[in-house]
Each structure stands twice: as structure tokens, then as C-alpha cells.
Amino acid sequence: MKVVEDRVLADGKIGEGDVLKVDSFLNHQIDIGFLCEVGREFHRLFCNCGVNKILTIEASGIGIACMTAQFFNVPVVFAKKTKTVNIYGDVYTAKALSYTRDGYYDVTVAKEFITQSDNVLIIDDFLAKGNALRALISLIYGAGAKIAGVGIVIEKIYQGGGDYIKSLGIRLESLAKISSMDKTGGVCFAE
């Protein structure tokens, strides 16, 4: 999607450790008009798939999921990264390896919000190795629900997460696909 690629080129910054910093418009400060365009595009891509729920993971996926959910008129569920006293009762839990923090964390969803009758669209800001996505997929399959697809704003295709998703037979749509990235050469997109 040109608007995402252009925005990454204009405002993305390459940091240490292969981190693409997009916090001026996507995951710390949020450009709401930009996010609305992103949501509209995810709807265009998945509008014929029978999506009845959108699942994301806190925190930076929430805004994107909400803006997307408006077009589908379906609820959002955001998985939590720590179990707090606000979640009672039965939960699904999966472990995820953090890309930007050290070690593993628990990804948790209350069982009542993902059920066998759900056909879930997963939405997130980034896809690199796919660690968070693996956990979300495991939660959905654990609930006996279906996965309509995965919508990602920015994928780093050279890190293998996308290949893994597709190897499961899950449809993946990434709005910007980064094929390489370094401080001297900048960001290059696939296709």
C-alpha cells in the first residue's frame, strides 16, 4: 500500500538491533487519518471473508484494530501481555518470545471472548519473526475458532514470520513489505 510505504520512508527511523522506529505515526504517537486509511484497506482486503471478530495484542495493535473494526462493524478483542486482577475466570494463555524486550511473556485472552463460532481476523502493527502472532494463532486454535486471515501494517519479510504464517495455510496481507533495511541504504520494499 503506497501510503504506508511512503510514510515509512518519510518518517520511519532505523534504530539499533534492526528496529524500525515508527513511533511518530503508528505506535506511540498515532496519526489517526493514516490509521483510518489502514483500516479501510484491511476491510477492502478481508471484507468477503466472514470476519466476525478482530483479535490483536496490546498495546500498539489496539488502535489499528479499532480503526479496522469500524469498517467491519465487529468487536475487537485485545490479548493481554500480563495477567491482571481484571481478568477473572478461565483464560487461554500462550507464551511468546519478545522481540523488543528480553525473554518470554504470557499472552492471555478470556475464554468467553474467543469461541468456536468465531472467524477471527488478526491485526497487528509489525510482523518480524512472528512471535506474538504464533501466540495469537495458538490461542485461536485452542478455542476451536477459525482464522479468516492476518493483516499487518509493516512486515519485515526477511525475518521469516510471514513464511511461517503462510505455511499454516493462513492468508497474510501486509500493507508494506520490507525486504531490507540498514542505516546506510535505508528501507527497501519488496515488489
- Which residues of the chain form contacts with its own copies (CB under 8 A)? 15-17, 19, 21, 23-24, 27-33, 35-36, 58-59, 62-63, 65-67, 69-70, 73-78, 80, 82, 84-88, 100-101, 109-110, 112-113
Look at the alpha carbons of 21, 41, 73, 124 in this order and tell me if their dihedral is positive or negative.
negative
The least distance separating its own copies from the CB of residue 90, rounded to whole angstroms, comes to: 13
Closer by beta carbon to its own copies, 68 or else 174: 68
Give the C-alpha separation, 111 to 55, whole Å. 13
DSSP structure class, residue 160? S
**Cβ atoms of 128 and 99 closer than 8 Å:** yes
The least distance separating its own copies from the CB of residue 160, rounded to whole angstroms, comes to: 20
Closer by beta carbon to its own copies, 33 or else 144: 33
The least distance separating its own copies from the CB of residue 191, rounded to whole angstroms, comes to: 26
**Cβ atoms of 69 and 75 closer than 8 Å:** yes
Look at the alpha carbons of 109, 167, 173, 105 in this order and tell me if their dihedral is positive or negative.
positive
Q: Over the Cα atoms of the chain, what is R_g? A: 16
Closer by beta carbon to its own copies, 115 or else 179: 115
DSSP structure class, residue 80? B
Closer by beta carbon to its own copies, 29 or else 163: 29
The least distance separating its own copies from the CB of residue 81, rounded to whole angstroms, comes to: 8
